[in-house]
A = this chain, B = another copy of it.
Amino acid sequence: MEADLLGEIVLLAAVTFLSALQNVFFAHKVELESKTQNSKCFQRTGSPAFEKVYCANQNCTDAYPTFLVGLWGAGLFCSQAPAAFAGLMYLLVRQKYFVGYLGESTQSTPGYIFGKRIIAFLFIMYAAGVINYFAIVLFGTDFLVHIQTVTKASSALLLIP
Contacts and interface: CB of A to CB of B under 8 A. Distances in A.
Interface of A: 1, 3, 5-10, 13-14, 16-17, 19-21, 23-24, 27-28, 30-31, 34-35, 40-44, 48, 51-52, 55, 57-59, 61-66, 68-70, 73, 76-77, 101, 104-105, 109-113, 119, 123, 126-127, 130, 133-134, 136-137
A133 B40 contact: no
A20 B123 contact: yes
Contact of A42 (B20, B42, B77, B110): B110
A131 to B, nearest CB: 9
Contact of A112 (B6, B27, B48, B136): B27
A52 B44 contact: no
Mostly helix, strand, loop or mixed at chain A's interface?
helix
A63 B61 CA distance: 9
Contacts of A73: 13, 16-17, 20
A42 B123 contact: no
Given A16-B69, A20-B123, A130-B14, A41 B52 contact: yes
B6 A76 contact: yes
Contacts of A17: 69, 73, 123, 126-127, 130
Given A62-B27, A113-B31, A134 B10 contact: yes
Given A13-B130, A31-B111, A59 B42 contact: yes
Given A10-B134, A123-B21, A104 B69 contact: no
